[in-house]
Amino acid sequence: MHPLSGQTIVFLPGIDGTGISFEPLGKVLPQDINVKIIRYPTNKLLSFEETVRCAKEQIQSDQNEVIVVAESFSGPVAIVLVGSGHLKAKCLILCSTFAKSPRPVLLKIIRYFPLELLMRLQFPRFLLKHVIEGGEEDADLFLTMWQRVKYLVPARTLVHRLKVISQVDVREWLPKLTIPCLYIQATSDRSVPASSIFDFTKSISDLRVTKIKGPHFILQAQPQASLTAIRKFVDLTNNKSSRQSTSAADQHVKPVVKGKINDNKDI
């Protein structure tokens, strides 16, 4: 049986906030998986705290033991939700994300550019292929997704979310992540520097890191490789949980010595 079968995945999206970015991974998931996609309003300029509350309000109070998958923009949101206990998860999977602003100087500089105007322009195909390091098929996939995002999300909302990223810092919540965590790192990420991983490795006690060849949009560019990494991690988590349960049960079995039951109390 696939380790993800019958599980519930809560997906927190990238900067678009629509859930469109989940589609490539969703297509390769087993059909018996329950998926809950968190979405952010396209017509509201939410602060980071408001974004966390928005995500929290979409989670059912009785929803627990879920697998949380958060990419890029939503990584910090998931960190706060899981770290605070508002999202009861069995494990957390972070993809191409950060705990503090990944490129603070660059993000401050580009605020002086006409970003809203630039986002309305057609993305040059040759530049897109360079960014995603893919061929014609990959370029077509990303262009189609980007056109859908631009239609649904106003440029001013995307620009505002860049500002939110430039100010975010949730490192204080990292030590509170006591569940198993996986960080999927894209080897050619031009948005989040490789050094961002150090915040996670030095603060999360139960963390695994998997590197996958590809760009920042790793779930979209490499959905099958991403699924393989997630499957292996969840399988490992399930086995670890099973061993702990067996060990706990064994500790409550009172050993029989010379035909008599040991009357010592459990410690």
Kindly report the pTM of this predicted structure. 0.84
Q: What is the pLDDT along the chain (267 residues), one digit of tens a residue?
A: 788 989 999 999 999 999 999 999 999 999 999 999 999 999 999 999 999 999 999 998 777 789 999 999 999 999 999 999 999 999 999 999 999 999 877 767 777 666 666 666 566 665 665 555 555 666 777 888 888 998 999 999 999 999 999 999 999 999 999 999 999 999 989 889 999 999 999 999 999 999 999 888 899 989 999 999 999 999 999 887 666 655 544 555 555 444 433 443 343
pLDDT of residue 259: 40
What pLDDT score was predicted for residue 77? 98
pLDDT reported for residue 144: 84
Note the pLDDT of residue 202.
Answer: 96
Question: Which pLDDT belongs to residue 126?
Answer: 59
Q: What gap in Å lies between CA 227 and CA 36, rounded to an integer?
A: 17
User: Between the CA of residue 225 and those of 14, 30, 210, 213, 222, what are the distances in Å?
Assistant: 19, 14, 10, 9, 5
Which residue ranges form the domains of the chain, and what is each CATH number?
8-99+170-242 (3.40.50.1820)
Residue 87, sorted as left (phi over 0), alpha (psi -120 to 50) or beta, turns out to be beta
Per-residue pLDDT at 123: 63
* Residue 237 neighbours by CB under 8 Å, 6+ apart: 90, 91, 180
The pLDDT value recorded for residue 29 is 95
> Which is nearest to 238 in space by CA: 250, 230, 248, 228?
230
Q: Of 185, 227, 176, nearest to 204 (Cα)?
A: 176
Kindly tell me the sign of the dihedral angle through the C-alpha atoms of 193, 235, 219, 73. negative
Instruction: Supply the pLDDT for residue 129.
Output: 59
